[in-house]
Chain A
Amino acid sequence: MQDSPSATSGLRTHSQSAFNLQSQASTAGGASSGASPLKTSPNPAPMHLKPKTTNVRRMRRIISEDAEWTLAIVPFLTELCIQHIVKNFQNNPILKQLLPEHQKKVLSHLPHDLPLTVTANLIDDENYWHRCCIKRWPVCHVDKHGGSWKRMFFERHLENLLKLFIPGTTDPNVILDLLPLCRNYVRRIQVDQFLPPVRLPTPPQAEEQSDSGSEGEGNEPEKDHYQLESLVAGLKHLEELDLVYGVKDCGMNFEWNLFLFTFRDCHSLAATIKACHTLKVFRLTRSKVDDDKARILIRSLLDHPALEELDLSHNLIGDRGARAAAKLLSHSRLRVLNLANNQVRAPGAQSLAHALAHNTNLVSLNLHLNCIEDEGGQAIAHALETNKCLTRLHLGGNELSEPTATLLSQVLPVNTTLISLNLTCNHIGLDGGKQLLEGMSDNKTILEFDLRLSDVSQESEYLIGQVLHANREATRQRTLSPGYFMSSITNNSTENSVG
């Protein structure tokens, strides 16, 4: 009994134990043989057999002290198999046939750098993709990708490829090869950089062209960016498209050409989004989209079955583009429209207001940093009188002044849907502020009303703040109270009773 474990514990431990044994034997039997320690220390090997045969009883104790020996050192066969599977996963991926707990083990041991062709459609385990993501990008916001690590991985992977794609030099198959792997997982494409085709031989020319950037549209065809058409057509779950036609971190290599959104780009993009019926959100910002391009894009979006949000902020859209957008409002189910920081003026705003007056889908309208002025502002205020849907309106920085304010103050008691209104950076003036205060005092629904830097007296601003506070409390009460669901339907009566 005592011998067998010592035999199995292997040679390494054996020698060690033998060593211990010798030392202990020397200490224990020191009195009996005084000369033995002297002999053993220089030459342990010959002494090996001697104490073992003599002190069988002591040997037991010594073996039991061996702390490293356990049965666990011998791995299970399943363990070995799993290791093998993990090692050869690239060549022979076996996963679905395994038991769940084994699958888990395999997944936890898989290296994150396996080729996507193997893993993409085989592995659904979030933990694996989590590891992959963490390894690849230091900052990961999985919430932005619907809480799915796999989706995040593929979206960001695709995003990276698109960002670094150089038309003409990069093989388009790099992206198209990925398509069958990621088509089931990608729901959003968010690209804030499209590289232009490189022209190596004439770097000085580029400098020249940079001077004539404003005029140089003649050689535009060569400056087309990557065409998304084929990619988008392959992604069957695509819902969001967030594009910026520009170059990031160009530094001292700045050229106006780098920021061109060509007509061919525009046409292809229009066709792409028209073909994509699952698309819900389309953003094209900071891309120098002017009226014509905007019209092309918007025309392709007319009667789109799924589109809900359109963001064309930070572009060069003028009245014509705004008119097109107004047409889109009445020919789609658009819920959010963002035209911030464009060049929309009064006529554009008027056409938008006209569309808004009878629209029943739009929830949010952003005309921040345009120049619609009082005419446009008044038109929109009029539209608010009949509109029963819009909840958020941003008119900041639009050169609005007192007339708009007076009209708004008349509309505010009537409208019961608007929740948020932004009038910052306008010239509303003291009187306008007072009128707005009057209008607000009869309104029970607006919860946010921003009047900063619009020449309104602090007093009226404070009082409006009080009204908003009261409204907020009232809505909170309403949501807390059990009769909320009923009151939400029969708006006015309950509001009065609660207020």
Chain B
Amino acid sequence: MNPAMNPSGNIAVMEQNGDDHLATPIHGPSVHSDNPQERIQARRLRIAARQEARRREALGEYLDGKKESEEEQSRSYKQKEESRLKLTKLLLCGTELVTNIQVATDIREIHRRVEEEEVKRQRLEKLENEVKTSQDKFDEITAKWEEGRQKRIPQELWEMLNTQRVHCAGLIEDKNKLISELQQELKIKDDQYVKDLKKQSDDINLLLERMEEQVKNVMKNFRQELIHIEKAFELERQELLSSNKKKWERALQAHNAKELEYLITRMKKVEDYEKQLNKQRAWDCEEYNTIKIKLERDVQILEQQLQQMKATYQLNQEKLEYNFQVLKKRDEESTVIKSQQKRKLNRLHDVLNNLRTKYAKQIKQFQEENQSLISDFKRLVGQFKELQRAMRHFTIIDAEKFREIWLMNEEEAKALAQRAFDVDCVIHVQHLGLPWKTPDFWFLRNVGPLSMQQRKSATQILEELLLQTEEDGTEEAVSEDESYLDLPKQVSAKTTRRILMLLCDESGFLIESKLLSLLLPLEKSESYLLRLDAIFSALGIESEDDLYKLVNFFLRYRSHHLSSAKESTSIYTERTSLMSALERVSLLSQVDRRSQVSKSEVESIVEQETLQGGDYESLEDRELREKEDLSSPRLIHPNDVLKILEAFVMGLKKPKEIRPVVRVKKDVRDNSRDSEYWESLALVIPVSKQNLWDALYKALEKYYLVLTQRAKLLMENDSLEQQNAEMQSLLQQYLQAKVNAELQIPPTQGFRMPTK
């Protein structure tokens, strides 16, 4: 109803549908999706969008951003935007146009309602007024009826009735009027209703018309815009196509040009090649001809040669045939021989195999035997060792027993002798009044079995030595004296040991290499021992003496060396002096040994020797002291050891000859002097003395008899004297006793006394 409304002023009304399909939201990935992948995607997009926005802002700061962006956007986008705006506007206006009718109807309806309300109100008022007035009138009439009843006069009554009728008629008329008015109104309303209906149908028609129009319009516009957009796209596409085409054409042209170039160059090349080919062909032809001629000539020559060769071939063939025959024969022979040889070979092979088996069997057998023998041998060795041990044991025990028995006997004998001596002494002193002198016999001094000290071997001493020094490393001083008391010359164990060690270290060449390898796993001391043993065996040192000789030799050399160093004498002299010293030492040792064999016999010699040896001893002592002062076999330079050894070996050659004889004697005990010993023990008191004793015994016996008689007499005398004394004392007693007095009194009294 209000078609003149300004559409542009009513943009406020919005068509939902129109907007819906224009602005459909992009359903990209959501940040709140359940799918983690999608969420990640969404966040990435967001970040990208933000960065893009930032970039745009940055651009917009110094450029007219809007313009830029507008230019950036393509024509199609612009067209789209334009169309969208246009269409939304169109839709808005259209819907407004359509809804205007509704709105207009609404307001009419409102107006109608307002009016209706007003009219209704008026009508009600009117009706109420009417009711009131009519009620009044009716009351009036009813009041009149009362009045009329009192009227008796018909005329009056009639009048009154008339008036009443008039009133009623008036009332009814009023009512009728009212009714007619209302009916009139109703009619008007009906008319109004019909009009309204018509109007509404008109409106609806209009609405339909407009809707149709709108639909048409919108359709048209949408189509148009679609066409526009399509055109824009088309145009853009055209442009794009043309530009691409141009590019393409340009590229194609370039390509063609290049192709052409290539073609031309290729043609040129082809021509070149053709020329070259022709040239080559011509050249080849010529060459071919020349070669042909040459080859033909060659062929001729070769044919000639061939003929010749054929001739020779014939000849050769014959020769060869003959040879062939001969060879065939030979071959046959050789085959025969071959077969024979083969047979022989087989036979020999058989024999060989047999022998091999036999050999193997024998080997086995012998091995077994060997095994058994080895075991036997081992057993025997064990037994032998056992036996040896037992024997050694028994020898020791025997020696011990022997020694004990000897000692016992000796003691007994000595006690007896001593008694005899005591007796002799008593006799001499008391009976003869002679001074007695104790006889001094050598055998009295002797204790233990008569034998020389056992000679120890060099190795034994070594062992002892090493063990001792090892054991009493700290208390060397004590052990020194004790252990070397038996050593002829007091060479300290320490020095000896040192010298030996030195020797051991320096003269390793004397030891066999095998032994060295064996020694490796052993203990230090043991290895030393074994080494020294080997060295001594090599040097020929076997006995204790030799060892001491060696040690002394070393010491002497030392001193000599020192002195010689001072006097700067030559080595040769030194050696000679050494030799002499060595001789002296060996002699000394022999003498020493002899002195031990029979001390008593050679006492004088010993004394001589001691006189003699005193020099040596003193010399040696000095040397020793010197040495000790210098305190070191260390001062014997290891390099000198060899020289010393050399000298020593040369010096030792001579006594070596005597040695074995001495050695044989060593173990055998000589009991030749035992009987002599015991005899001499028995004859401690000589026969003359016994005779003396016998005479003395007889005289003494006689003297004893006299003495015994005298004793008897003395005893008798004594007893008589004693009796005498007793008698006297008794007399005295009787004299002095009261009994005497009493006895003077009458005897009666005395009788009384015993009764009391």
The answer to whether A452 and B10 touch (CB under 8 A), given A425-B106, A479-B23, A486-B31, is yes
Mark out the residues of chain B between 222 and 281 whose CB falls within 8 Å of any chain A CB in the assembled complex: none
The docked-state distance in angstroms from the alpha carbon of A472 to that of B42 is 25
Tell me which of A43-51, A87-95, A221-229, A457-465 binds B.
Answer: A457-465
Residues of B1-49 contacting chain A, CB below 8 A = 2, 5-6, 8-14, 16, 19, 22-26, 28, 30-32, 42, 45-46, 48-49
Q: Are A453 and B2 in contact (CB under 8 A)?
A: yes
> B12, A461: Cβ atoms under 8 Å?
yes
Q: From A57-65, A74-82, A443-451, give the one contacting chain B.
A: A443-451
Q: Does A485 contact B (CB under 8 A)?
A: yes
Given A484-B25, A485-B30, verify A453-B14 contact (CB < 8 Å).
Answer: no
Give 9 A-B contacts (CB < 8 Å), ordered by A residue: A369-B109, A420-B14, A424-B103, A452-B5, A452-B100, A458-B9, A461-B12, A462-B9, A465-B9
| B10 touches which of A447, A461, A486 (Cβ 8 Å) | A461
Whole-angstrom distance between the Cβ of A147 and the nearest chain B Cβ: 18
Residue of B nearest to A421 (CB): B12
Candidates A424, A465, A476, A482; contact of B45 at CB < 8 Å: A482
Which 4 A/B pairs are nearest by Cβ-Cβ distance?
Answer: A465-B11, A479-B25, A448-B14, A476-B23
Determine the residue in chain B with the shortest Cβ distance to A478.
Answer: B25
Query: In this assembly, does A396 line the interface, its C-beta being within 8 Å of a C-beta of chain B?
Result: yes
B743 interface residue, CB < 8 Å from A?
A: no
Tell me the smallest distance from the CB of B7 to a CB of chain A, in Å. 10
Question: What's the least CB distance linking A435 to chain B, in Å?
Answer: 15
Q: Judge whether B12 and A464 touch: CB under 8 Å.
A: yes
Closest chain A residue to B113, Cβ basis: A371
Tell me whether A107 is interfacial, beta carbon within 8 Å. no
With an 8 A cutoff between CB atoms, is B390 at the interface? no
Contact A396 B26, beta carbon cutoff 8 Å? no
List, in ascending order, chain A residues with CB within 8 A of B23's CB.
475-476, 479-480
A466, CB-defined interface residue at 8 Å: yes
Give A contacts to B, CB under 8 Å.
Answer: 368-369, 396-397, 399, 420, 424-425, 447-453, 458, 461-462, 464-466, 468-469, 472, 475-476, 479-486
Residues in chain B near residue A476, CB distance under 8 A: 19, 22-23
Cα distance A447–B42 in the bound complex, in angstroms: 28
Bound: A331/B50 CA distance, A: 45
Contact A483 B5 (CB under 8 A): no
Contacts of B26 in A (CB 8 A): 479-480, 482, 484
- CB interface residues, B 84-137, toward A, < 8 Å: 88, 96, 100, 103-104, 106-107, 109-110
Give every chain B residue within 8 A of A480 (Cβ-Cβ): 23, 25-26
* Nearest B residue (CB) for A466: B11
B28 — which chain A residues lie within 8 A by C-beta? 482
Residue of A nearest to B48 (CB): A482
Choose among B11, B19, B103 the residue that contacts A425 (Cβ–Cβ < 8 A).
B103
- On whether the beta carbons of A483 and B46 are closer than 8 Å, the reply is yes
Contact: B25 with A396, CB < 8 Å? no
Quick one: closest B residue to A440, CB to CB? B12
Residue of A nearest to B108 (CB): A425
- Decide: A485 near B42, CB < 8 A? Known: A369-B106, A453-B2: yes
The CA of A485 and the CA of B11, in the complex, are separated in Å by 28
Q: How distant is the Cα of A239 from the Cα of B48 in the complex, in angstroms? A: 45
Q: For chain B, give the interface size range.
A: 35 or more
Q: Which residue of A lies closest to B42 (CB)?
A: A485
Given contacts A453-B107, A483-B49, contact A448 B31 (CB under 8 A): no
Residues on B with beta carbons closer than 8 Å to the beta carbon of A447: 14, 19
Q: Shortest CB–CB separation between residue A314 and chain B, in angstroms? A: 12
In the complex, the answer to whether B14 meets A468 with C-beta atoms within 8 Å is: yes
- Specify which chain A residues have a CB less than 8 angstroms from the CB of B8 in the assembled complex: 462, 465
What string of 1s and 0s marks CB contacts (under 8 Å) between B35-74 and chain A?
Answer: 0000000100110111000000000000000000000000
Q: How far is the CB of B438 from chain A (nearest CB, A)?
A: 146
| A453 to B: closest C-beta gap in Å | 5
Whether the Cβ atoms of B19 and A465 lie closer than 8 Å is no
A424-B106, A453-B107, A458-B6 known; A468-B12 Cβ under 8 A:
yes
Cβ contact within 8 Å between B103 and A396: yes
Whether the pair A468, B11 counts as a contact (CB closer than 8 A) is: yes
**Is B46 touching A453 in the complex (CB atoms < 8 A)?**
no
Q: A465-B11, A468-B11 are in contact. Are A481 and B103 (CB under 8 A)?
A: no
B106 and A461 contacting across the interface, CB-CB below 8 Å: no
CB–CB A453/B12 < 8 A: no
In the bound complex, residues from chain B placing their C-beta under 8 Å from that of A482 are 26, 28, 45-46, 48-49
Chain B residues closer than 8 Å to A425, beta-carbon distance: 103, 106-107, 110
Q: A212–B604 Cα gap in the complex (Å)?
A: 198
A447 CA to B11 CA, complexed, in Å: 10
Alpha-carbon distance between A167 and B9 when the two chains are bound, in angstroms: 54
Report how far A484 CA is from B48 CA in the complex, Å.
14
What are the residues of chain B within 8 A of A486 when measuring CB–CB?
Answer: 31, 46
B residues less than 8 Å from A452 (CB atoms):
5, 10, 13, 96, 100, 103
What is the distance, in angstroms, from B344's C-beta to the closest C-beta of chain A?
97
- Bound together, the chains give a CA A466 to CA B8 distance in angstroms of 10
* CB-defined contacts of A420 to chain B, threshold 8 Å: 14
Bound Cα distance from A447 to B16, whole angstroms: 9
| Identity of the chain B residue whose Cβ is nearest the Cβ of A468 in the assembled complex | B12
Tell which of A462, A480, A485 has the most Cβ of chain B within 10 Å. A485
Interchain CA distance A388-B639 in the complex, whole Å:
121
Known: A448-B14, A461-B12. 20 other contacts (CB 8 A): A369-B109, A396-B103, A397-B107, A397-B110, A399-B110, A424-B103, A425-B107, A447-B19, A453-B104, A462-B6, A462-B11, A464-B12, A465-B10, A472-B19, A472-B88, A476-B19, A476-B23, A479-B26, A483-B46, A485-B30
Residues of A contacting B9 in the complex (Cβ-Cβ under 8 angstroms) = 458, 461-462, 465
In whole angstroms, how far apart are the Cα atoms of A408 and B104 in the complex? 24
Contact yes or no, A450 B46, CB < 8 A: no
Q: How far is the CA of A461 from the CA of B26 in the complex (A)?
A: 32
A483 to B100, alpha carbons, bound, how many Å?
38
* Distance in Å: Cβ of A430 to nearest Cβ of chain B: 14
Max chain B CB contacts within 10 Å: which of A397, A447, A465? A465
Q: Judging by beta carbons under 8 Å apart, are B100 and A485 in contact?
A: no
Contact of B11 among A396, A424, A469, A479 (CB under 8 A): A469
* Complex interface: chain A residues within 8 A of B2 (CB): 453
Q: How far is the CB of A418 from chain B (nearest CB, A)?
A: 13
Most B Cβ at <10 Å: residue of A425, A450, A461:
A425
For the complex, give the distance between the alpha carbons of A447 and B18 in Å.
13
Docked pose: A482 CA to B51 CA in angstroms: 12
Q: Which residues of B contact A481 (CB under 8 A)?
A: 49
CA distance A472 to B104 in the complex (A): 26
Residues of A within 8 A of B107 (CB): 397, 424-425, 453
- A443 to chain B minimum Cβ distance, whole angstroms, is 12
Distance between Cα atoms of A452 and B11 in the complex (Å): 10
> Which A residues lie within 8 Å of B42 (CB)?
485
Q: Which of B100, B104, B107 has the most CB of A within 10 A?
A: B107
Q: How far is the CA of A469 from the CA of B13 in the complex (A)?
A: 10
Residue of B nearest to A461 (CB): B9
The CA-CA distance from A458 to B7 in the complex, in Å, is 11
A480–B26 CA distance with the chains assembled, in angstroms: 6
Report the minimum CB–CB distance from B104 to chain A (whole Å).
7
Name the residue among B10, B12, B24, B42 with the largest chain A CB count within 10 angstroms: B12
- Which residues of chain B are within 8 angstroms of A399 by Cβ–Cβ distance? 110
Q: Least Cβ distance of A260 to chain B in Å?
A: 21
Quick one: closest B residue to A489, CB to CB?
B32
A420 to B26, CA, bound (A): 23
In the assembled complex, which residues on chain A have CB atoms less than 8 Å from the CB atom of B22? 476
Q: What's the least CB distance linking B34 to chain A, in Å?
A: 14
Q: Is the CB of A485 within 8 A of B32?
A: yes
Which residues from A are CB-within-8-Å of B6? 458, 462
Q: Determine if A397 and B106 form an interchain contact, defined as CB atoms under 8 angstroms apart.
A: yes
A-chain residues with CB within 8 Å of residue B10 when the two chains form the complex? 450-452, 461, 465
Q: What's the Cα separation between A368 and B103 when bound, in Å?
A: 11
Q: How far is the CB of B362 from chain A (nearest CB, A)?
A: 101
- Shortest C-beta distance, A209 to chain B (Å), equals 18
